[in-house]
Amino acid sequence: MSKTPNILLIYTGGTIGMIRDFESGALHNFNFSELLEHIPELQLLTCDIETQSFKEPIDSSNMNPDYWVELATIIEENYTKFDGFVVLHGSDTMSYTASALSFMLENLTKPVVFTGSQLPIGDLRTDAKENLITSIQVAAAQENGLPKVAEVCLYFEYKLYRANRTTKINAEHFEAFTSLNYPPLAVSGVHLVFNDAMLLRPNRRKKLKVHKTLETDIVLIKMYPGIKNKIITHLVSYPNIKGVIIETYGAGNTTTTDWFINILKSLMKKGIPVINVTQCSGGSVNMGQYETSIHLKEVGVISGKDCTTEAALAKLMFLLGSKVSSKTFKTIFETSLRGEME
């Protein structure tokens, strides 16, 4: 590894990569090769920075698994050349993409730091500069000649989080993300302070393995009082359905009506995994704690434990794409693969 860390900055799209035309007020993407013109402070960092953009930067609302594969491929192709990666991404779907990349990049031993901003980089009160500068510092941080961080993470508003533990909670404030079930990996104040005990410790002898097959024929159902048999029946009657995620109440509770249990049993008989995650921002699924979740446990519903919906979706796509057998699927899903659950 070189003495001066090499960092690759990858721009996928999003507010952080835009500047405002002050005559028209419109936003447009700027050329990231001219990054130093907009953020001259980057010259003060003790690392070498190269940039690469998607051919056509996208709004993160248009993000999909094909773009996840494109992003993973960029990292794969540049993995030996660079010591760390910073991914600039729109905030709306950042937790989904970052969670997916955590599963796609197996045996990762270098930092992949996602960041973005709520205001464009050229705005007077922008949060883009601090987010970008500190993300690059995180990606360049080393200890004993090795990267300090060796996982996919997300940096926003002075906090570094494990990516697959995050969710976006605010569209207005600079503090757009949170990680209620896992503490920050680092906090940026006067000093950048890492929470060493919380960092993943990978086996550095293993070679990076990039998974590029994701199964997207899955259904996400949010439970609500009054949801009808016909609605759920219609949703799960999709002919190509491969998996289901149910956002349940509290610690994993649902209605105990016969029709609902019968739908779950029918899915199980077909070998379609059903994942139980909580609608709550924090906390964990604990099937069997209440009578309203015992039936889920009995029919074989898989516990998402304290997984976020974003991480559960990404993990389900990843495991289905990896052709994990139905016999071992429950055991593997309920096992933490990238620090996404306790």
β-bridge pairing 302-303 and 274-278: parallel
- C-alpha dihedral (75, 77, 78, 84), degrees to nearest 10: 20
Q: Comparing C-alpha atoms, which of 103, 167, 101 is closest to residue 333?
A: 103
Q: What CA dihedral angle connects 293, 327, 246 and 260, to 10 degrees?
A: -60
Q: Could you give the CA distance from residue 62 to residue 167 in angstroms, rounded to a whole number?
A: 18
Contact 80, 6 (CB under 8 A): no
Q: What is the mean pLDDT of the chain?
A: 93
Q: Give the pairing type, strands 218-222 and 209-210.
A: unpaired
Domains belonging to the chain, first-starting first, are 6-210 (3.40.50.1170), 218-333 (3.40.50.40)
* pLDDT value, residue 15: 82
Residue among 191, 177, 1, 180 nearest 82 (CA): 1
Per-residue pLDDT of 176-232, as tens digits, reads 899 999 999 999 999 999 999 999 999 999 999 999 999 999 999 999 999 999 999
Nearest to 182 by CA among 270, 46, 284, 288: 284
User: 104-151: per-residue pLDDT in tens?
Assistant: 999 999 999 999 998 887 777 888 889 999 999 999 999 999 999 999
Half-sphere exposure of 67 (CA within 13 A, CB side): 24
DSSP output for 287-301: TTSSHHHHHHHHHTP
Whether residue 164 has pLDDT greater than 90: yes
Pick from 312, 297, 331, 321: which is nearest to 244 by CA? Answer: 312
User: How far is the C-alpha of 150 from the C-alpha of 155, rounded, in Å?
Assistant: 14
Percent of the chain at pLDDT exceeding 90: 80
By the 8 A CB rule, do 117 and 131 touch?
yes
Q: How confident is the model over 244-253, as pLDDT tens digits?
A: 999 999 999 9
- Over residues 49-82, the pLDDT tens digits come to 999 999 888 989 999 999 999 999 999 999 999 9
Task: Tell me if residue 15 is catalytic.
Answer: yes
pLDDT of residue 217: 98
Residue pair 133/126 in contact by the 8 Å Cβ criterion: no
Comparing C-alpha atoms, which of 68, 80, 77 is closest to residue 104?
A: 68
Residue 57 CA: distances (Å) to CA of 18, 241, 340 = 11, 31, 28
Element (H, E) at 128: helix 128-140
> Given 12, 15, 93, 308, which residue is catalytic?
15
